[in-house]
């Protein structure tokens, strides 16, 4: 079976994982930041830890943070657990990203942060977000920070410019589902040297040393992933997943809970940084193949009346190759018989989750629709 996503691991990644060395975390931070157009990088245990840390170093409490209604639930988790208030904005009607008019309507005098999310690798109009923020800052007389959520958009460009170069910081997740990864981990990059220094200081003061035991568990997970995602084995793994027997490993949220993973406040490990450095070297080749795969699938589906896909976007990175269908279960079953695993990446609109009912302020019609209809095709053969 062809998996819906597959980490791009090879012998060079095994070598990186198995070759002990020190000092790789600052090397990875520097190389990652430079690759995506920023001055500084700060590595964390998870991307959500980076969002939490930003809220803390900015001294925010009970502030409103604007984010998409249709995004990964870990983003509002970080907002709430940092003692701030998520404000959910619906998607554009003809796109997956936040509505610009919705952002304008959502801004109040309590707004202190906006998190544009470049969902599935499609770049958002960062220029217009900047104009909206500038107008709001003049109106309310205080700073409004912008965090680019780039978990899906490593290298995405708006009008030829990296989206990571706009705003105050950009946040990445680096788990195995991402375009490149460091096994686990996350990264914040920024042009602001003072912000970078404050983030490092916060991390050094508020995180725990990972230790040998957890480092070995990272390697065991890396080894298991290398086996589990082989096409000849993945059919069995997918069967276990459909039976619910792998929920402990693949289920990353509960509808009624707002929480972090147990290792959210651990310092990143050397093995993660080593693998991350090696993955970064392969980025250009990976993204080229990903875009070509997206172009082929979009072209093949252009005459199909049962699916809607956005036109190919040269600035997108295609972390996931997605489309909207009317009967999602029928598509999943049809491809399962062909030996291909279609994904259902975000099967919820966050304001509709039980844990977030009290934060449901605006309509989320488009987000609710996407939650029911989105599928993603395998990113590799």
Rounded Cα distance between 318 and 310, Å, is: 11
The pLDDT, as a whole number, for residue 248 is 74
183-230, pLDDT tens digit by residue? 999 999 999 999 999 999 999 999 999 999 999 999 999 999 999 999
- Supply the pTM of this predicted model: 0.96
Kindly report, residue by residue over 67-92, the tens digit of the pLDDT.
Answer: 999 999 999 999 999 999 999 999 99
Domains by residue range for the chain, with CATH: 1-381 (3.40.640.10)
Structure confidence at residue 246 as a pLDDT band (50, 70, 90): confident
The answer to which of 28-32, 239-243, 276-280, 287-291 has the lowest mean pLDDT is 239-243
Taking only the tens place, the pLDDT of each residue in 123-151 is 999 999 999 999 999 999 999 999 999 99
Tell me how far CA of residue 4 lies from CA of 77, 126, 166, 329, in angstroms: 25, 29, 31, 15
Segment 303-312 shows an average pLDDT of: 95
- Look over the chain and give the mean of its residue pLDDT values, rounded to a whole number: 96
CA angle 367, 110, 83 (to 5 degrees): 75
pLDDT score of 381 more than 70: no
Q: What is the DSSP secondary-structure string of 261-322?
A: -TTTTBPP-HHHHHHHHHHHHTHHHHHHHHHHHHHHHHHHHTT-TTEE-PPP-TT---SSEE
């Amino acid at each position: 079976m062809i998996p819906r996503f597959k980490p791009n691991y090879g012998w060079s990644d095994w070598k990186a994982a198995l070759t002990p060395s020190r000092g790789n975390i600052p090397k990875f931070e520097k190389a990652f930041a430079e690759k995506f157009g920023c001055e500084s990088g700060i590595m964390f245990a998870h991307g959500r830890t980076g969002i939490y840390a930003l809220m803390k170093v900015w001294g925010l409490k009970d502030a409103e943070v604007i984010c998409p209604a249709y995004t990964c639930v870990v983003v509002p988790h970080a907002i709430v657990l940092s003692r701030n208030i998520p404000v959910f904005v619906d998607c554009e009607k003809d796109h997956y990203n936040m509505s610009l008019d919705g952002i304008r309507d959502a801004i109040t005098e309590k707004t202190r942060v906006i998190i544009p999310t470049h969902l599935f690798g499609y770049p958002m109009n960062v220029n217009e977000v900047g104009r909206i923020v500038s107008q709001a800052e003049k109106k309310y007389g205080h700073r409004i920070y912008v965090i680019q959520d780039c978990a899906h958009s490593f290298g995405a460009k708006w009008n030829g410019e990296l989206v990571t170069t706009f705003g105050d910081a950009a946040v990445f997740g680096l788990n195995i589902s991402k375009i490149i990864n460091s096994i686990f981990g996350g990264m914040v990059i920024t042009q602001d040297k003072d912000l970078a220094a404050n983030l490092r200081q916060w991390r050094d003061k508020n995180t725990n040393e990972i230790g040998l035991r957890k480092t070995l568990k990272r390697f065991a997970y890396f080894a298991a992933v290398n086996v589990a995602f082989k096409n000849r084995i993945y059919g069995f793994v997918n069967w276990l997943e459909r039976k619910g027997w792998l929920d402990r490993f693949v289920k990353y949220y509960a509808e009624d809970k707002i929480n972090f993973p147990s290792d959210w406040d651990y310092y990143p490990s050397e093995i993660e940084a080593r693998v991350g450095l090696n993955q970064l070297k392969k980025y250009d080749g990976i993204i080229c193949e990903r875009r070509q795969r997206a172009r082929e699938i979009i072209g093949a589906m252009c005459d199909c009346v049962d699916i809607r896909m956005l036109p190919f976007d040269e600035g997108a990175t295609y972390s996931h190759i997605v489309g909207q269908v009317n009967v999602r279960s029928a598509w999943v079953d049809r491809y399962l018989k062909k030996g291909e695993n279609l994904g259902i990446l975000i099967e919820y609109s966050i304001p509709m989750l039980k844990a977030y009912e009290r934060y449901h302020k605006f309509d989320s019609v488009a987000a609710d629709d996407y939650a029911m209809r989105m599928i993603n095709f395998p990113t590799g053969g």
